[in-house]
Amino acid sequence: MTTSTDATDRAVISELDAARRDFRDELLSAGLLFATGVEGLYGRGADFERVIDSIDARVLSEGRAAHGTAPKTLRFPPVFPRESFEKTDYIASFPNLTGAIRTFDGGNKEHRALLADREAGRDWDSHLESAGTMLVSAACHPSYSTLTGTLPEGGELLDIYGYCFRHEPAIDPARMQAFRMHEYVRVGDPQSAVEHRESWIPRGLQVLEDLGLDATPVIANDPFFGRAGKMLAANQRDENLKTELVVRLYGDLDDGTAVVSCNCHQDHFGETFDIRTADGEVAHSACVGFGMERIALAMFRTHGIDITRWPEHVRSELVA
């Protein structure tokens, strides 16, 4: 996204924001999403969830075709230990997206003080303390602490599905603060990690094609924070560590929306979580992440708001 203040750019951004707002309003009117009063946080209606479950069934069938029964199923709640969060180094790279949990840990007296501030219309956050937990930032993040130590021969392959949180309030319905991600994660030697990432690019494209979506693979980088982040982003591109599968939700108004991401983490998590291969080397890892809400939104944008009028070949992918 451009940060130029050139008048032509401003006009383009404004047209893009109007397109995003119109799409969101359409989703809300149809009862596919429900407003909560905060940008990027929505309730989901029955048809929206049916589409999510249908996408998930297709992702799982691709996973079975690729890996058989090898993947270990792991499902995490949306909250995980700060100690694991620290090892992801997320606070260094994406502090602005972070969600830290605080809670009340006092007695009657401290509670009365909190309620007095609340009664007076003052902020009561100062009465809270860290709960030692964080919101899950990427579905795979809570999994690495379960692998600390030595991996079995051949490494591990994980099937992970769960809610993620990223604090980036936006009009664009495709930029939610809370959304689901289904991942296949490979942890093992460097070659197996690279192969995992590479092999899921065509598989991801096939899944999207079967859902009637026109996606393009794009070499990409994460939105690393701040000045120091610019170098990390450039490195990630140069080393070809991230490929996003992109669908155009708003025509030519932007470069499209990433709905699937294929990433190689090299030895980052192996190092910080102390994960070793059977050979004693620091493990490498890679993952493919399907952004479930974004894929659903791409389908509503491409095939229309009313699922009963979707093309037959797409309807055949819908679960009951």
The footprint of its own copies (CB under 8 A) covers 34-38, 41-46, 48-49, 72-81, 83-84, 91-92, 95-108, 111, 114-115, 118, 123-125, 128, 130-133, 135, 142-143, 145-146, 163, 165, 167, 176-179, 225-228
Whole-angstrom CA distances from 15 to 1, 19, 31, 78, 134 are: 14, 6, 25, 35, 36
Q: How far is CA 205 from CA 18, 216, 290, in A?
A: 29, 8, 11
Shortest approach of its own copies to residue 195 CB, angstroms?
24
User: Among residues 73 and 191, whose Cβ is nearest to its own copies?
Assistant: 73
Please state the closest distance from residue 194 (CB atom) to its own copies, in A. 26
Q: What is the largest CA-CA distance in the chain?
A: 64
Coil, strand or helix at 187: strand
Other residues' Cβ atoms within 10 Å of the Cβ of residue 161: 18
Q: Which is nearer to its own copies, 38 or 120 (CB)?
A: 38
Q: Which is nearer to its own copies, 36 or 216 (CB)?
A: 36
151 neighbors 173 (Cβ within 8 angstroms): no
- Copy the structure tokens of residue 48: 């929206």
The sign of the CA dihedral 190, 192, 196, 202 is positive
Residue 112 CB, shortest distance to its own copies, in Å, is: 9
Nearest to its own copies of 142, 190 (CB atom): 142
Q: How far apart are CA 40 and CA 177, in angstroms?
A: 5
For residue 239, give both structure tokens: 């080393």
Is the Cβ of residue 172 or residue 189 nearer to its own copies in the bound state?
172
Nearer to its own copies, 104 or 154 (CB): 104
Least Å from the CB of residue 258 to its own copies: 20
Query: Closest approach of Cβ 129 to its own copies, in Å?
Result: 8
The least CB distance from residue 110 to its own copies, in Å, is: 9
